A and B are shown apart, each in its own frame.
Chain A
Amino acid sequence: TQLLEQSPQFLSIQEGENLTVYCNSSSVFSSLQWYRQEPGEGPVLLVTVVTGGEVKKLKRLTFQFGDARKDSSLHITAAQTGDTGLYLCAVVGFGNEKLTFGTGTRLTIIP
C-alpha cells in the first residue's frame, strides 16, 4: 500500500486550461513538499507547506495543505507548455527526517 497516493496518474490538457492534482494519505505529516521533475533531470523543489490549511502561491501555481495535514492539492492556472513534467509530493513524518515521495502525476501540456 502506497503511503502517498497522487491523482490523477496522468493528465494531458491544452495550453491555457486550468488543472488540479492531488496528494492524499491516511497519515498525518509534519510538512509536505511539492517537486517538479523534467525529463533527464532530478526533481526540483517548488514549495514546502507546514501549517494545516496553509495556502501558498507561486506565480500561476497554488498549493494547499489540508486542514488535517493528510492531503494537499496543486492548482495550475492557465497552463503553459513549460509546466510539463512529473509532479511529486513528498512528506516528512513526525519524529523522522526521511522524505517519502508520492506516486507522481505526469502532466503534459499540449500547445
Chain B
Amino acid sequence: KAGVTQTPRYLIKTRGQQVTLSCSPISGHRSVSWYQQTPGQGLQFLFEYFSETQRNKGNFPGRFSGRQFSNSRSEMNVSTLELGDSALYLCASSLTGGPKIQYFGAGTRLSVL
C-alpha cells in the first residue's frame, strides 16, 4: 500500500507570492491533517479535513487555507507569503477521526526569500 505522498518536495518562493501544496493520503483514508514544522515553534497543527469538510483548525491566519477533494486528496494554499512561512509542511492521513493513528508524508520544504 502506497504511503502518504506530498508534492512538491521542495519549493522556493518570494515574499508576496502564493503557493499550493498537495497531499495524496493512503488509499482508503478519509482524514487529512496539515502541520507546519519550524525549528523555533516545532510541529504545529494547521487544519484537518474529513470527507471534504474542514473539521478542526489551528491558530493560523486566514492566509493559510485548504481543501479536500472527493478522492480524499488535499491541497493547502498559502497566500501573500511572508519570510516566516518558511517551514516544512507535513500532511498526515488517518482512516477516521478520533484519537488517531496518523501516517505522515515526507513533507514539502518551503523557502520564502
Contact = CB atoms under 8 A, between A and B. Distances in A.
A103 B100 contact: no
A40 to B, nearest CB: 7
Nearest to A91: B99
B50 to A, nearest CB: 9
Helix, strand, loop or mixed for chain B's interface?
strand
Interface residues of B, number: 24
B42 A104 contact: yes
B49 interface: no
Helix, strand, loop or mixed for chain A's interface?
loop
A92 B102 CA distance: 12
A60 B99 CA distance: 25
B87 interface: no
Q: Top 3 A-B pairs ranked by shortest CB distance?
A: A42-B104, A101-B43, A92-B99
Interface of B: 4, 33, 35, 42-45, 48, 55-56, 58, 90, 92, 97-107
Interface of A: 2, 30-31, 40-45, 48, 88, 90, 92, 96-104
